[in-house]
C-alpha cells in the first residue's frame, strides 16, 4: 500500500528478544548488579516510606490472560493488591477463568486481539475510563517487583507521571533500549512509554487514552501516545527501581509480525506520532526517591 508510513518510522529495528547463552548470561549479570546497587542504596526502604504516605486512591487493574503455563498472573496478585488503596480487578481470559484468579476475572472465552480483549474486560468491570485515579493494564507473563502497585503509584504521583511503565529487566524481551532499567535511576521522565507489558494511566490519561482504539495488536499505538502526551504537556516515565521481568513469551509469539506492522501503518497514517528518528529519549533522570 502507498501513502502509509514506513515501518522504520515507528519500529525500533531490534527484536529485543534475549536469546542465546551469551546474551542471557550478560542480561543476568546486569540484573544482578542492578539489584545489588539498589539494595546498597536502600531504595526499597525509601520507596516504602513514600508508599506509606500516599493518599488512598481508587485503582482498576485489568488485562487479558491466556490460560496455560506462561500465565503468571496468579503469582503477581500479591504485588497488585493493596491494603491502602481501593483496587478493583477486572481480568479477561481467552479461555476459562483461571481458578486462582476466578474472583478477579470478569470475562472468559475472549477471542479478539489483546487490546480488544482488554477493552471488553474494562467494559465488563463497569468502571468507566477516568472514573478511577489509576488504571493498570498488565500482561499475564510478567514477574513484578515486591509491593509493586503501592510503590509504583506513589512514585508516579510524586513525580507527576500521567502515563508510566516499569523498566524491563535486561533478561526481558524489550524492543526499546530506553525502556530497560538503568543504573543509578529510580525513575526517568521519558518521551515514550510502550503499550506493555505493564502500563499505568492516571485518571486524565485513562479518560483520553482508554478504551484502546479498535486494534488487534496495537503496534504503533505507543508512538501515537507519545505525541498525545507531548501535546498535552503531560509527563510520562519509566520506573527503573521497580523493574518488570517479561521473559515468558517472545514478543509477537502469539500473532503474525507482518499483520501487526500493517495494522500500525494504517493506524498511524491518520494520527500524529513520535517517529523513531525523533528518538525515544530520557528527558530527566530521578536518582533519588522523593522525600
Ligand atoms: Mn507479554
For residue 160, give the C-alpha cell.
507527576
Task: Retrieve residue 114's grid coordinates.
Answer: 489483546
Find the 139 Cα to ligand 1 centroid distance in Å.
Answer: 5
How many Å lie between the centroid of ligand 1 and the Cα of residue 153?
Answer: 21
- Cα(250) to centroid(ligand 1), Å: 8
Cis bond leading into 44, ω under 30°? no
> How high is the pLDDT of residue 251?
58
CA of 90 to the centre of ligand 1 (A): 18
| Tally of CA atoms within 13 A in the half-sphere of 45 that contains its CB | 4
**What does the DSSP 8-state code read for residue 65?**
E
Q: What is the pLDDT of residue 173?
A: 82
> What size, in residues, is the chain?
291
* Domain edges within the chain: 7-286
Condensed to tens digits (0 to 9), the pLDDT of residues 31-80 reads 999 999 999 999 999 999 999 999 999 999 999 999 999 999 999 999 99
Please tell me the distance from the alpha carbon of residue 95 to that of residue 109, in angstroms, as a whole number: 4
Ligand 1 centre distance from Cα of residue 1 (Å): 30
**Residue 247 scores a pLDDT above 90:** no
How distant is the alpha carbon of residue 178 from its chain centre?
14
3-state secondary structure 114-175: HHHHHHHHHHHHCCCCCCCCEEEEECCCCECCCCHHHHHHHHHHHHCEEEEEEEECCCCCCC
Tens digit of each residue's pLDDT (9 = 90 or more) over 166-198: 999 998 988 899 999 999 999 999 999 999 999
The answer for residues whose C-beta is within 8 angstroms of residue 119's C-beta and 6 or more apart is 211, 212, 214
Q: What is the mean pLDDT of the chain?
A: 94
Homologous superfamily (CATH) of 7-286 is Spore Coat Polysaccharide Biosynthesis Protein SpsA; Chain A (3.90.550.10)
Residue matched to cell numbers 481467552: 94
Q: What is the mean pLDDT of residues 103-120?
A: 97
pLDDT of residue 249: 65
CA 65 / ligand 1 centre spacing (Å): 9
Separation of CA 154 and ligand 1 centre (Å): 24
Task: Say yes or no to pLDDT of 1 above 60.
Answer: no
Name the strand (E) or helix (H) holding 241. strand 235-244
Question: How far does the centroid of ligand 1 lie from the alpha carbon of residue 206, in Å?
Answer: 21
What letter would DSSP give residue 97?
A: P
Cα(105)–Cα(89) distance, rounded to whole angstroms?
7
Ligand 1 midpoint to CA 211 (Å): 19
**Is the pLDDT assigned to residue 255 strictly greater than 80?**
no
Residue whose entry in the numeric block shows the C-alpha cell 508510513: 5
Taking the centre of ligand 1 as the mean of its atom positions, its distance from the CA of residue 140, in whole angstroms, is 6
Strand pairing category for 161-168 and 134-138: unpaired
Q: 248 alpha carbon to ligand 1 midpoint, in Å?
A: 7
Amino acid at each position: 500500500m502507498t501513502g502509509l508510513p514506513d515501518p522504520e518510522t515507528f519500529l525500533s529495528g531490534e527484536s529485543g528478544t534475549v536469546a542465546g547463552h551469551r546474551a542471557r548470561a550478560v542480561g543476568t549479570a546486569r540484573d544482578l548488579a542492578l539489584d545489588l546497587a539498589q539494595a546498597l542504596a536502600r531504595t526499597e526502604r525509601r520507596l516504602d516510606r513514600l508508599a506509606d504516605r500516599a493518599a488512598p486512591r481508587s485503582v482498576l487493574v485489568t488485562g487479558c490472560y491466556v490460560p496455560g503455563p506462561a500465565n503468571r498472573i496468579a503469582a503477581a496478585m500479591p504485588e497488585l493488591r493493596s491494603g491502602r488503596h481501593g483496587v478493583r480487578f477486572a481480568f479477561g481470559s481467552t479461555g476459562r477463568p483461571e481458578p486462582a484468579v476466578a474472583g478477579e476475572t470478569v470475562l472468559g472465552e475472549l477471542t479478539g486481539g489483546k487490546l480488544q480483549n482488554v477493552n471488553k474486560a474494562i467494559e465488563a468491570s463497569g468502571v468507566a475510563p477516568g472514573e478511577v485515579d489509576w488504571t493498570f493494564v498488565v500482561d499475564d507473563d510478567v514477574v513484578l517487583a515486591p509491593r509493586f502497585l503501592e510503590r509504583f503509584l506513589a512514585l508516579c504521583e510524586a513525580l507527576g507521571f500521567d502515563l508510566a511503565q516499569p523498566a524491563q529487566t535486561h533478561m526481558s524481551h524489550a524492543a526499546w533500549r530506553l525502556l530497560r532499567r538503568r543504573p543509578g535511576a529510580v525513575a526517568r521522565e521519558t518521551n515514550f512509554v510502550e503499550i506493555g507489558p505493564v502500563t499505568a494511566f492516571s485518571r486524565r490519561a485513562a479518560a483520553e487514552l482508554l478504551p484502546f482504539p479498535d486494534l488487534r495488536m496495537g503496534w504503533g499505538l505507543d508512538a501515537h501516545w507519545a505525541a498525545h502526551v507531548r501535546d498535552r504537556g503531560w509527563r510520562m516515565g519509566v520506573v527503573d527501581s521497580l523493574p518488570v521481568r517479561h521473559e515468558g513469551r517472545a514478543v509477537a509469539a502469539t500473532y503474525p509480525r507482518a499483520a501487526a506492522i500493517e495494522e500500525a501503518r494504517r493506524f498511524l497514517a491518520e494520527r500524529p506520532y513520535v517517529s523513531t528518528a525523533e528518538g525515544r529519549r530520557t528527558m530527566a533522570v530521578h536518582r533519588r526517591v522523593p522525600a
